[in-house]
Amino acid sequence: MAKSKLKIPKICEQCGKPFEAKTVATRFCSPYCVDKSGRVKRRRAKEAIEKQTLLEESINKIAEIQTRPFISVSEATVLFGISKDTIRRLIKAGKIPAYNLGQRLTRVSRVHIEAMFTAVDLPEDPEERPVRMQYDKSECYNIAEVSEKFGISPSTVNKTIRKYSIPRRQIGKYVYVPKEQIEELFSKK
């Protein structure tokens, strides 16, 4: 069998070092990187399985917690995703009623915590569509005309047009703006 004389420059997927591969399918620079990549892949698969089992256990625990009117501080952290310190701070401030049934047996009202963390419906802002300029060229000034008429530099005119969102339209190399809006704006100043 003949040896390949190909030397393809590649970068190892595991360690990131450049190396010369002898085949197009080579992904790693050494057997060590191949083994390490396999270990990482197996570890990630194991972690994914552990996360899934933890999630399934948590779902059962959360379903059981949601049926009880009073829950422990640690159960409240699981249910609402807030820290124990926050819950204790709310208890101390009197915002959440709590009952101490003994050492490490503080129970809080689940209903009161839910009332504090309910979702607030915000009104949706309708998307503002840009107003298309429907002005005729005769009803508009170009930037140079505005600058000349009001004695303002062209850069100041452009900044003011942007600041007050005045519609503008470019035709060729000239930018046109409506006469009525420009006169209204600059007559105030």
pLDDT tens by residue, the chain, 189 residues: 456 677 889 999 999 999 998 888 889 999 999 999 999 999 999 999 999 988 888 788 878 888 888 888 888 888 888 899 998 998 899 888 888 888 778 899 888 888 887 666 777 776 666 656 577 788 888 888 988 988 889 898 889 888 988 888 888 888 888 888 888 888 776
Structure tokens at 117: 């963390």
**Ranges assigned E (strand) in the chain:** 8-11, 18-21, 70-72, 98-100, 106-109, 140-142, 169-171, 174-178
Q: Identify the pLDDT of residue 42.
A: 96
3-state secondary structure of 145: helix
List of residues 6+ apart from 135 with CB closer than 8 A: 167, 169, 176, 178
Domain boundaries, the chain: 29-65, 68-116, 137-182
Q: Identify the pLDDT of residue 133.
A: 58
68-116 and 137-182 have identical folds: yes
List of residues 6+ apart from 29 with CB closer than 8 A: 12, 14, 15, 17, 19
Structure tokens at 65: 């917690």
Q: What is the DSSP letter of 93?
A: H
Beta bridge partners of 21: 8
Structure tokens at 151: 């004695």
Is the separation of the CB atoms in 137 and 169 below 8 Å? no
Report pLDDT digits (tens) over 29-63: 999 999 999 999 999 999 999 999 888 887 888 78
Beta bridge partners of 72: 107
Structure tokens at 29: 């620079």
Q: Pick the closest to residue 102 from 72, 57, 61, 142 (CA basis).
A: 72
Fold adopted by 137-182? Arc Repressor Mutant, subunit A (1.10.10)
3-state secondary structure of 70: strand
- In the chain, the amino acid numbered 106 is T
Cα separation of 92 and 85, whole Å? 10
Is the separation of the CB atoms in 43 and 51 below 8 Å? no
Class of domain 68-116: mainly alpha
